[in-house]
Chain A
Amino acid sequence: MWVATVVGLALAGPAPVTAQDDDAGVTYDDILAGFADPTRWLTYSGDYSGQRHSPLTQITPANAHRLAPAWTFQTGFDTRGRGFETTPLVLDGVLYVTGSNNYAWAIDARSGRPFWQYRRQLPDDLTYGASAPVNRGFGILGDRLFMVTLDAHLLALDRATGSILWDVVLADYKVGYAATLAPLVLDGKVIVGISGGEYATRGFIDAYDPETGEQIWRFYTIPGPGEPGSETWPDDPLTLARGGSGTWMNGSYDPELDLIYWGTGNPNPDYNGDSRPGDNLYSNSIVALEAETGALRWHFQFTPHDLNDWDSNHVPVLVDLEWEGEERQVVMLANRNGFFYVLDRETGELLLGEPFTGTTWARELDAAGRPIILNDGSQGCLPDPWGSTNFYPPSFDPNLELFFVTARETCATFVKQEPEYVPGRQSTGGVIWIDQDQGWSALRALDPRSGELEWEFRYPSPTFAGVMSTASGLVFAGDHEGNFIAFESATGKDLWHYQTGSRIWGAGAMTFMLDGRQMVLIPSGSTLVAFALPLD
């Protein structure tokens, strides 16, 4: 009788809320399939392309106004000075979520209740090479989750329990290294980058064996003495060894070309280039690396000899589109320096570079793709060090052929100082005065063939929110005042908004199907909120 009752309840009740025991785990082919399974989101941008464009269509411009919160998850703590920047992964109704200070959780996607919580015991003398104690998400393969840490380690966690399977050191955090990005998982490799460009560090991109944690290859973003690229630096090993150029944001991957695309950060010291005359390769660039070996196939430098901390750590967006009559495989990105770029992703050839903000620094590129600098700061204020956009994800709608990005319009004065080189201390070489009264921002839709503005929606302050779009013609974005907003992709009309109570900072939304309902999640402040259309 008792058994029959329990079975009856089980049959009549909702679907089970635990992970499936017979699940063999995530394969490379699963990640490669991207959005093919609508119940899953298995890598930072949803698929390898970096488009953050979901094929889901249950929520539409016609019904988005009915979106309502399904649940709220609270981390229990705030992130000093920054945001909850993660993108959750989802598999079989379970969310895998990283938080600030290297907390992490497995959360029931139906109820918002946690299965387990992981907390890393971080050292007391963290150098915060990452600027802030944030984290942007897990990578997943098999039954393993991969997470980087503020003390510059890479961890493998057991998906069922959150227990540590292996723990390897990426670099010495005491010097100023740290790590915050979501690992990019390929076939038999976990790819990660490093933070620390404000310190006397040397950036790199690494590949690790998912089984053992053994390092497979490393690509340094600052060449060694005599290596290609070193001619763009002074002939001084010490300058190269502390050249900076962090790789602290996620890259994208083209499985056919077997190339990884990754952005690189500012040279060190940030604001004083006196000790580093030259272009300072491969800082402020995008690099295309062979996934198998980590060898450099091509690079393109956006901001040669950067003096404004305009890291190029953006999500590269891989798109195939018709370009002047022929099919091109391109990579596009909106850059912190104020320009929107389209490059051929097989060769690195520059196809387009046009300003997408009112930047006064430069308004055009020369034939070689170098900015023609009009204002070094002496002709009025420059975009601030946070840039015309930043690491927070953009999205691309391949049907409308529009690139959506949160664009910042700001005003800052850069003042050079003598850098102090002390291990574990920042050596930025300057101070910045940001005119708080002049900042604003907008969600912009750009035509990728011309860089022209199709529409914009303005926010009253410089916003740091990521973007996600869906095939139903929606763009989800947010603002610094805490609104999570749904827009019509074709027009920019705001259709719905929800005040989350804390600015949307660094995070983009993600979406998936659960029991026939399309869920949309956004991290904000100390919360992760799930939205869906009402059940009736």
Chain B
Amino acid sequence: MRHTLLSAVALLVLAAPTVAQQTANPYDSDPAAMRAGRALFANRCAECHGADARGFSGPDLTVLWAEGTSDERVFQTIRSGVSGSIMPSSTAPDNEIWAMVAYVKSISTVAAALDAPGDPERGQELVQARCTRCHYVAGGGGYLGPDLSRIGAVRTRESLMRSIREPAASIQPGYRTVTLVTPSGDRIRGVAKGEDAFSVQILDTRQQLRGYMKSDLAEVVREPVSLMPEFTSARLPDEDLNDIVRYLGTLRGNR
């Protein structure tokens, strides 16, 4: 992964002669630039706007384009800051700012793939039957996995298919699997919501928020797997997958 990024960023360097005074983003949809922008975003913006750019103490940036903004306007806001707010001006070079704009745009709301194969109604039935114990979807469901109510607006069809077939390939912070072992040998499994040197905070598989002091535990086991099962083609035929992903593509924010 890291080496992929390295070569990608190197491409960005080669492709970056001079971009000052530009009004169109020279890196628009450039995958190398978007990866570099992600690294810059994590260092400089995530503190306020959240690691996923969907807002923390600062606003959700993934809806900006859907609300009609332009690349240049986002660039200028980063460059100049927002007067009267905590959002500072930036003295970063132009190409770094354009790379961040390209990245945020890439994780912003995506167009609905209306011509994609699959039956959304059947997909809805499958999701209700097989996913909502752990995922909240438009009005109901569980919390062990990410909320899917808006998933169609922020994830591409390909990315959704990959997450269903290989859930461990990319696990968001807050959904990583942990098992806590008590001194009597009981094992409590869940997803880690937080951890410090002395304590760990989890959502257990019964979907209860529970906090523990490490001094009260025998062991904290971090597992490199997702709590979500791998829905291989044997377990979920391609047709079902198409229907589910087609349905997920319609989920665009009505929680």
Which residues of A does B touch, CB under 8 Å?
78, 80-81, 124-128, 176, 199, 381, 411, 413, 415-420, 422, 424-428, 431-436, 457-460, 479, 481-483, 485, 494, 497, 499
Q: Are B43 and A434 in contact, with the CB atoms below 8 A?
A: yes
Tell me the bound Cα distance from A417 to B33 in angstroms.
Answer: 13
Quick check: is B127 within 8 A (CB to CB) of the other chain?
A: no
Contact A433 B2 (CB under 8 A): yes
Do residues A479 and B196 form an inter-chain contact, with CB atoms below 8 A? yes
Q: Which residues of A contact B86 (CB under 8 A)?
A: 78, 80
B32 CB to nearest A CB, Å: 11
13 more contacts with CB within 8 A, not counting A80-B48, A126-B88, are A81-B47, A415-B6, A415-B9, A415-B13, A422-B93, A426-B92, A431-B99, A432-B39, A433-B9, A434-B43, A459-B196, A483-B196, A494-B198
Q: Does B94 contact A (CB under 8 A)?
A: yes
Q: How far is the CA of A497 from the CA of B197 in the complex (A)?
A: 10
Given the known inter-chain contacts A125-B89, A176-B91, A434-B39, please indicate yes or no for A416 contacting B196, CB distance below 8 A: no
Q: Is the CB of A80 within 8 A of B91?
A: no
Asked whether, in the complex, the Cβ of A431 is within 8 Å of the Cβ of B6, the reply is: no
Q: Interface code B181-202, partner A: CB below 8 Å = 1, 0 otherwise?
A: 0000000000000011110000
- The reply to whether B196 and A460 form a contact with Cβ atoms under 8 Å apart is yes
For A426, list chain B residues within 8 Å (CB): 91-93
**Residues of chain B contacted by A415 (CB below 8 angstroms):** 6, 9-10, 13, 36
When the two chains form the complex, which single residue of B42, B57, B99 contacts A434, counting CB atoms closer than 8 Å? B42
In the assembled complex, B5 has its CB within 8 A of some CB on chain A: yes
Nearest chain B residue, comparing its CB with the CB of A420: B93
Q: Is B20 an interface residue (CB 8 A)?
A: yes
- How would you classify the secondary structure of chain A's contact residues: helix, strand, loop or mixed? loop
**Residue numbers in A under 8 Å from B95 (CB-CB):** 417, 420
Contact A435 B196 (CB under 8 A): no
Residue among A424, A433, A435 with the most chain B CB within 10 A? A433
- Which residue of chain B has its CB nearest to the CB of A415? B9
Q: Is B44 an interface residue (CB 8 A)?
A: yes
A424 to chain B: which residues have CB within 8 Å?
91
How many residues on the B side are at the interface (Cβ–Cβ under 8 A)? 32
Instruction: Enumerate 17 A-B pairs (CB-CB under 8 Å) in ascending A order.
Output: A78-B86, A124-B83, A126-B88, A381-B2, A417-B13, A417-B16, A420-B95, A426-B91, A426-B92, A426-B93, A431-B96, A431-B99, A433-B5, A433-B9, A459-B196, A479-B196, A483-B196
Pick from B16, B36, B57, B91: contact of A425, CB below 8 A.
B91
Residues of B contacting A479 in the complex (Cβ-Cβ under 8 angstroms): 196-197
Contact pick for A435, options B2, B13, B96, CB 8 Å: B2
Question: Are the CB atoms of B93 and A199 closer together than 8 Å?
Answer: no
- Give the residues in chain A near B9, CB-CB below 8 Å: 413, 415, 431, 433
Q: Are A436 and B42 in contact (CB under 8 A)?
A: yes
B89 contacts A460, C-beta separation under 8 Å: no
Tell me, rounded to whole Å, the shortest Cβ–Cβ distance linking B36 to chain A: 5
B residues near A381, Cβ cutoff 8 Å: 2
Among A176, A459, A460, A482, find the residue whose CB has the most chain B CB atoms closer than 10 A: A460
State which of A125, A176, A458 has its C-beta within 8 Å of the C-beta of B197: A458
B126: Cβ under 8 A from any A Cβ: no
Name the distance in Å between A115's Cβ and chain B's nearest Cβ: 27
Kindly state whether residue B168 has any CB partner on chain A within 8 Å. Answer: no
* CB-defined contacts of B88 to chain A, threshold 8 Å: 80, 126, 128
Give bound CA distance, A249 to B109, whole Å: 44
Quote the shortest CB–CB distance from B44 to chain A (angstroms).
7
Flag if A433 contacts B47 (CB, 8 Å): no
The answer to whether A413 and B6 have CB atoms under 8 Å apart is yes
Task: Compute how far the CA of A499 lies from the CA of B94 in the bound complex, rounded to whole angstroms.
Answer: 40
Check if B61 is an interface residue, CB within 8 A of chain A: no
Q: Which chain A positions have C-beta within 8 A of B99?
A: 431
**Which A residue sits closest to B18, measured CB to CB?**
A420
**Does B217 have its Cβ within 8 Å of any Cβ on chain A?**
no
In the bound complex, what is the Cα–Cα distance between A259 and B92 (angstroms)? 38
Q: Which of A418, A431, A459 contacts B36 (CB 8 A)?
A: A431
Partner among A125, A413, A418 whose Cβ is within 8 Å of the Cβ of B2? A413
Residues of A within 8 A of B92 (CB): 425-426
**Can you list the 10 inter-chain pairs with the closest CB atoms, starting with the nearest?**
A481-B196, A433-B39, A415-B9, A425-B91, A420-B93, A81-B47, A426-B91, A417-B13, A413-B6, A433-B5
Nearest-neighbor residue (CB-CB) of B79 within chain A: A425
The answer to whether the Cβ of B131 comes within 8 Å of any Cβ in the partner chain is: no
Is B228 among interface residues, defined by CB-CB distance under 8 A? no
Q: Tell me how far the C-beta of A414 lies from the nearest C-beta in chain B, rounded to whole angstroms.
A: 10
In Å, the complex CA distance between A494 and B199 comes to: 14
Docked pose: A127 CA to B40 CA in angstroms: 18
B183 to chain A, nearest CB (A): 19
Q: Is the CB of A483 within 8 A of B6?
A: no
Q: Tell me which residues across on chain A come within 8 A of B5, comparing CB atoms.
A: 413, 433
Q: How many angstroms between the C-alpha atoms of A126 and B197 in the bound complex? A: 37
How far in angstroms is the closest Cβ of chain B from A171? 16
Residue of A127, A432, A497 near B91 (CB, 8 A) is: A127
- CB-defined interface of B29-52 with A at 8 Å, one 1/0 digit per residue? 000000010011011100110000
A420 & B89 in contact (Cβ 8 Å cutoff): no
Q: How far is the CB of B191 from chain A (nearest CB, A)?
A: 16
Looking across the interface, which residue of chain A has its beta carbon closest to that of B19? A420
Q: Which of A80, A411, A431 contacts B39 (CB 8 A)?
A: A431
For A460, give the chain B residue with the smallest CB separation.
B195
Q: What 0/1 pattern do residues 91 to 105 of B give for CB contact below 8 A with A?
A: 111111001000000
What chain B residues lie within 8 Å of A427 (beta carbons)?
93
